[in-house]
Amino acid sequence: MTDTLFTNAKLIDPESGTITAGAIGVTNGQISAIITDQTPQPQAKKTVDCNGKHLAPGIVDIGVKVCEPGERHKESFGSAGLAAAAGGVTTMVTRPDTDPVIDNPETLEFVIRRAREAAPVNVLPMASLTKGRKGREMTEIGFLLDAGAVAFTDCDHVITDSKVLSRALAYARSLGALVIAHPQDPSLSAGAAATSGKFASLRGLPAVSPMAERMGLDRDIAMVEMTGARYHADQITAARALPPLERAKDNGFDITAGTSIHHLTLNALDVADYRTFFKIKPPLRDEEDRLAIAEAVQSGLIDVISSMHTPQDEESKRLPFEAAASGAVALETLLPAAMRLFHADLITLPQLWRAMSLNPAKRLGLPCGRMAVGAPADLVLFDPHAPFVMDRATLHSKSRNTPFDGARMQGKVLATYVAGRSVFQKP
């Protein structure tokens, strides 16, 4: 007998690119049946009526910062896990830019243990590529893989020494490890708070050209060509970076790319009167870049959409724009922000879930992210049309530095399930 039967749902299948009315059965934490109108429904111990709402694979979010160890006052595994569940994120892939850096098996094992104890969703940690994220000496990649690291990244600390990077990539390739990099020329982007242009000049903000991203990506692609490593660019945000990315893929390199939900839904003008909640890294781009990146997601050139959840406390943000810390929380706002792209007819729901669930799961070799028999029953039930006004005071994160505070949005998560078990129900 089926454990749980989800009936009367609109099933989003990111693999086939379809939305179908039907039901799914869940047994022992896995999807055991997909039922259409022509398929008889099995008996079940429990039935969940989805009331005609959309049921999709849970979001797999690459690049979440949880501030344990070191800065638990900004975000803990408990608070991040609750925020993820409320946002339909069933798997968080966490960053190593903590204090101390996750660059050894002992720290990694601590993180895995804390996440298992405190978070109601799946947590998969990344480890740093070089010790201390200093770009001088690579970490013990093999030991970290054995300890549970799913990928390796120095986050926004770009490795400037190409010899160190080439050695790390070559070693990662020998072990089959995925390397995630931040494409940027750090000598150009150092100290920048905005994207160069008329707006930044009028506001007197230190700015960086989008070409810094293009130059960083060109260097990384050359390194991948030389070493054959598995490579993922964490954030492609500028239209000028798309042609080299397309050429690298056409050449058969093992390259994928992501972008953040903020770069897909906001632009440089949103900074307006020096609003520091809009200060992120890389800085928000022009509208032409935003549309080009959205088109790249729609076409599949950009594979992954991430929240790039980066908690910052009030003291870090309530500063002059240039001095304020970069970053925004987004675990709970990822889905409603993505609905802006859907309602603007830029990206369909199956395409969104391909980028937010299927592709990140495939890149990491995970079985989730699919609406298929045998896949883990990590699911999100949501209403893409439900309107609301975002109030940051209601967020589950300890830090509430969201640029969407006070914004009118559409798209509410109604329930989230991990291995068929409810981890969030909208009150």
37-41 long-range contacts (CB < 8 A, ≥24 apart) are 41/5, 41/7
Sequence-ordered list of residues with C-beta below 8 angstroms from that of 381, at least 6 positions apart, any chain: 6, 9, 50, 53, 54, 55, 413, 414, 415, 416, 417
137: pLDDT strictly greater than 90: yes
pLDDT at position 268 = 94
262: pLDDT strictly greater than 90: yes
C-alpha closest to that of 258 among 355, 332, 179: 355
pLDDT at position 189 = 93
pLDDT at position 347 = 97
- Structural domain contains residue 186: yes
What pLDDT digit, counting tens, does each position of 282-313 carry? 999 999 999 999 999 999 999 999 999 999 99
CATH label of the domain that carries residue 199 = 3.20.20.140
- Structural domain contains residue 152: yes
pLDDT band at residue 76 under the 50/70/90 scheme: very high
Q: Yes or no: say if 303 and 256 are a contact pair by the CB < 8 Å rule.
A: yes
pLDDT at position 161 = 96
What pLDDT digit, counting tens, does each position of 360-375 carry? 999 999 999 999 999 9
Range of the domain at 299: 58-363
14: pLDDT strictly greater than 90: yes
Q: Yes or no: say if 348 and 20 are a contact pair by the CB < 8 Å rule.
A: no
- Structural domain contains residue 141: yes
pLDDT band at residue 39 under the 50/70/90 scheme: confident
18: pLDDT strictly greater than 90: yes
Instruction: Give the total number of structural domains in the chain.
Output: 1
352: pLDDT strictly greater than 80: yes
Distance of CA 207 to the CA centre of its chain: 25
Q: Yes or no: say if 346 and 290 are a contact pair by the CB < 8 Å rule.
A: no
146: pLDDT strictly greater than 80: yes
Query: Given 3-state DSSP classes, what are the helix, strand and coil percentages for the chain, each rounded to the nearest 5?
Result: 35, 25, 40
- Structural domain contains residue 349: yes
pLDDT at position 1 = 79
- Structural domain contains residue 359: yes
Q: Yes or no: say if 205 and 193 are a contact pair by the CB < 8 Å rule.
A: yes
Maximum separation of any 2 CA atoms in the chain, in Å: 66
80-89, 193-202, 380-389: which range is least confident on average? 193-202
Sequence-ordered list of residues with C-beta below 8 angstroms from that of 323, at least 6 positions apart, any chain: none
Question: What b/e sequence results for 186-207 when a residue is b if at least 16 CB atoms lie within 10 Å of its CB, and e otherwise?
Answer: eebbeebbbbbeebbeebebeb
CA-based end-to-end distance of the chain: 30
- Structural domain contains residue 294: yes
- Structural domain contains residue 372: no
Average pLDDT over residues 368-390: 97
pLDDT band at residue 108 under the 50/70/90 scheme: very high
Question: What b/e sequence results for 233-272 when a residue is b if at least 16 CB atoms lie within 10 Å of its CB, and e otherwise?
Answer: bbbbbbbbbbebbeebbeeebebbbbbbbbbbbbbbeebe
The encoded tokens of residue 70 equal: 């070191």
pLDDT at position 43 = 87
- Structural domain contains residue 373: no
Residue 361 three-state SS? helix
What pLDDT digit, counting tens, does each position of 237-247 carry? 999 999 999 99
pLDDT at position 316 = 94
272: pLDDT strictly greater than 90: no
pLDDT band at residue 156 under the 50/70/90 scheme: very high
Q: How many residues does the chain have?
A: 427
Average pLDDT over residues 226-233: 98
User: For residue 87, what are the CA distances in angstroms to 57, 118, 378, 402?
Assistant: 13, 17, 13, 14
The encoded tokens of residue 2 equal: 């089926």
pLDDT band at residue 36 under the 50/70/90 scheme: confident
202: pLDDT strictly greater than 90: no
The encoded tokens of residue 163 equal: 């010899």
SS3 track for 158-186: CCCCHHHHHHHHHHHHHHCCEEEECCCCH
Give dist(CA 24, CA 5) in Å, integer. 6
